[in-house]
A and B are shown apart, each in its own frame.
Chain A
Amino acid sequence: MVARAADEIAPGMVVNLGIGLPTKVVDHLGPDFPVCLHTENGLAGIGPTHPPETADRNLIDAGGAYVSTIPGSAFFDSAVSFALVRSGRLDLTMLGAFEVSQHGDLANWKIPGKFSPGAGGGIELAQKARRVIVLTTHTDRAGNPKLKEACSLPITARGCVARVFTDMGVIDVTDTGFALVEIAQGITPAEITEATGAPLALPKGDIPTF
């Protein structure tokens, strides 16, 4: 799923990968792949991560990982960093999710009474990136669908999600709701439909697998 998600990154893009699963997408891009990775804390042109022994104490990504620069990297302050996001210069962001609605609403920042550390830069990424892709497990730990007719948790941004990658499939958010694009090997259309909390349109004919 993470490897398949890496195909979404086209040459020349400016991309922000959220904390968690999305960060791993970079492992599937070749060292010479032309892309500019952005991190909210003030770097465009993220290089490989470093172990503590060789880390620069002043050089982290927004998740706290010790990263590096590459030829052409630039540092900037937090206002410039989000000017880049809000003005439409960010071509793509990949984020995690608690819930995604069939209208593309995203909930990923707060579970009232349980998890409320603040949204950080997540609202701006979700609301202003030109394309928002979600990487998540298809269901939560209790087995409940994360793809729903409507989000029950506080919203991060409305109508922002274009495509969802899960362990069961690749699902687009369309004008008429969720549409299955690809299905994971070993999963049946009935299984993914059952695990989805909203109507899921199946493609005509054979469903591509990944």
Chain B
Amino acid sequence: MKLPDKIGTLEEAVSCIGDGASVMIGGFGVPGTPFTLIRELVRQGPRDLTIIKNDANEADMGVDHLLVSGQVARLVTTHIGLNPRAIAMMNAGEIEVEFNAQGILAERIRAGGAGLGGILTDIGIDTELANDKQRINVDGKAFIVESALRADVALVHADRADPFGNLAFAATARNFNPLMAMAAARVIAEAEQLVPLGDLNADDVHTPGPFVDELVVLNELSEEYAVVQR
């Protein structure tokens, strides 16, 4: 037996994203952000998107291009402090922003990926993040209900991949990528390096291939992937 090949073209892979789609995008700052897939999403231009990402990147990088092009209707995130445009658009009502506690966003996505309905947590129970959320007592302790999150499409960035879509991430570029790779109806991975089947040791696979629908191999890395000069 041989595992199937999922390598596709950039254009074809991203073409499944239509107007109104929800899109999870991996990355925490630069590491792990699938800049090439985002650029193609900008080029193809679907609108009214719900973007689910830890942060909004910085000016002229990643999610910022989607904000400039006016494709984002809603942003589900944890912190957008490094992107003044995202804050300005939120304040002007041009995009809707939903803030989550960072680990709770991760758990909501993990729950979505695990086929669960949501999670119970006391995180933020004293804050305005708990407003309008259902409260439940379990064994005398108060929790709020955080619903599971799934998306139509997840865009993730891997360091290494084999043709089946087994993925390995590098250093702190892992972050939300393996969680989002479980939580979308269609999962598209870009990878810096394609290795033959079997070259990724089975013990070293971070995201198992069955979660991945399409693999885009990066022939070169744009400047966006580089070390940020501050």
Contact = CB atoms under 8 A, between A and B. Distances in A.
Interface of A: 39-43, 52, 55-62, 64, 66, 69, 75-79, 81-83, 85-86, 116-121, 123-124, 127-128, 154-158
Nearest to A86: B103
Which 3 pairs across A and B sit closest by C-beta, in order of nearness? Answer: A82-B103, A117-B81, A120-B79
**Quick one: which of A57, A69, A120, A156 has the most chain B CB within 10 A?**
A120
Nearest to B102: A121
Nearest to A113: B91
B87 A117 contact: yes
A61 B171 CA distance: 11
A60 B175 contact: no
A59 B30 CA distance: 10
Given A52-B229, A78-B28, A78-B54, A58 B177 contact: no
Contacts, number: 138
Contact of A59 (B90, B103, B171): B171
B180 to A, nearest CB: 10
Interface of B: 28-32, 54, 77-82, 87, 90, 97, 99, 101-107, 109-110, 121-124, 126-129, 159, 170-179, 206, 225-230
Nearest to A157: B126
B79 A78 contact: no
Contacts of B99: 118-119
A69 B170 CA distance: 13
